[in-house]
Amino acid sequence: MSKIHMEFILDNNNENKENSNNISFPTSISFQDPIILDDSIEEPPKLPEDFKVDETDSKILASIYQKDEVYPNFSTPKGLALIINNREFAHSQYNPRMGTEVDESNIRKLLVKLGYQVERTHHNLSAGSMLRTAQIFAANELHRNFDSCVVVVLTHGQYDHFIGSDGEAANVHDFLACFNASNAKFLKGKPKLFFFQACRGDSHDYGTDATDIGKISSLFSCMRSSPPRLQRNFNNNTNNNFESSLFPSPPPSTSSSSSSSSTTFPIATSIRFNGITAASRGGLKREKRPTEGDMVIAFATTPRYVSWRNSNSGSWFIQSICEIFGKFAATEDIGSLLIKVNKRVADAYQSSNAGQKQIPEFVIRLQKKFYFFPGIKAEHFQQS
């Protein structure tokens, strides 16, 4: 019988738990044993070993590629891909991540079929080694020859931290900073895609009633509209500490965060070019781009929540990525693909423990649309 697991972290930082009277979060449940999959809960079939990725043809390419609006992604390979897979953990607080080897195999097959050169997987890295591996990969000079790159992390996690195999935490923002325009010069201006399969807390999503509220709302269309909800909160409820309750402070850094502080990451600051202006240089205009741009970060779940993984078929998130990308990457951009992944995880999966749900989250910092263009190579593009 297959087993479902949470990418579960027992959060001891109780002082950072939700404690507001104004906003409620699902109750956290702490347990160490895996959840047995109830046979009455139907789960989508396991991804086939030989799953296919549809390819972009010249007709599709001509219809969607516009140089000023779409990133080029035609190099051979498309780019380098890094996979970090933590299965075993030294600290007894963190269970082995059963089924993560399925995720690793599936995502590797997908990336190869999409046209990426996937490096050897880095297994069971400590928190510090995860950051160092990211730095080394980001600095690889081979990136200069390719159009994009992909990074996949499979591990335990909490809020904005990954958990290393040593049980210590690596800050997600420090990890991402390794790939920004200041630290990864060969990736500057190129799309960088990140897929993070990890918990981001220990709250559980028990779902909500899916009644079609659109039909219900039409019954009240003749009624006078009321002020926006947020406006009512601010104007009429002086005790509602909106900012502090909705945007709680992040958990304090663990020992690994302090130990990795020796690595210098850029701070968001205003930069001046020693007084150089267009007027002082006869009309010369210095063009600048955001340091943290050209990234897509896809998380398996939303902040504060657990994510789910099956010991036989892998995590809901990675399996959905492989299914959706395989079917639609030939014609749709990354934003559309990730929306489909969100819907797939939300609609197709449900845990055997109280029918719990999950919704992924993604952040897009791109300045153009990004397509994988599977099957299209530079020479094909030139011929077309």
- Each of the 384 residues of the chain gets a pLDDT tens digit; together they read 555 666 643 333 333 333 334 444 444 433 333 333 333 345 677 888 788 999 999 999 999 999 999 999 999 999 999 999 999 999 889 999 999 999 999 999 999 999 999 999 999 999 999 999 999 999 999 999 999 999 999 999 999 999 999 999 999 999 999 999 999 999 999 999 999 999 999 999 999 987 765 555 554 444 444 444 434 343 343 333 333 233 344 444 444 444 444 455 554 444 444 444 444 455 667 789 999 999 999 999 999 999 999 999 999 999 999 999 999 999 999 999 999 999 999 999 998 778 899 999 999 999 999 999 999 988 765 555
**269 in a domain, yes or no?**
no
Whether 213 is in a domain gets the answer no
The answer to whether residue 133 sits within a structural domain is yes
Do 103 and 154 meet the contact criterion of CB atoms below 8 Å apart? yes
- For residues 27 and 356, give the distance between their C-alpha atoms in angstroms, rounded to a whole number: 12
Asked, for residue 309, whether it belongs to a domain, the answer is: yes
Cα within 13 Å of Cα(247), Cβ side? 2
Among residues 156, 161, 204, 322, the one annotated as catalytic is 156
Whole-model pTM: value is: 0.76
Assess if residue 361 is contained within a domain: yes
CB of 369 within 8 A of CB of 69? yes
Range of the domain at 333: 50-207+250-261+289-383
Q: How many angstroms separate the CA atoms of 79 and 366, rounded?
A: 17
CA separation for the pair 113, 117 (Å, rounded): 10
Of 299, 319, 300, nearest to 310 by C-alpha is: 319
Q: What does the chain come to in residues?
A: 384
Question: Are the beta carbons of 12 and 47 closer than 8 angstroms?
Answer: no
360, part of any domain:
yes
As beta bridge partners, residue 79 has: 148
The Cα–Cα gap between 261 and 257 comes to: 6
Given the DSSP bridges, would you call strands 35-36 and 79-85 parallel, antiparallel or unpaired? unpaired
Has residue 165 been placed in a domain? yes
**What's the CATH number where 173 sits?**
3.40.50.1460
Domain count of the fold of the chain: 1
For 313, how many CA atoms within 13 A lie in the half-sphere containing its CB?
Answer: 19
Given the residues 5, 199, 204, 322, the one annotated as active site: 199
Count CB neighbours of 244 within 10 A.
Answer: 10
* 199 carries an active-site annotation: yes
218 in a structural domain = no
Q: What angle do CA 111, 148, 381 make, to 5 degrees?
A: 90
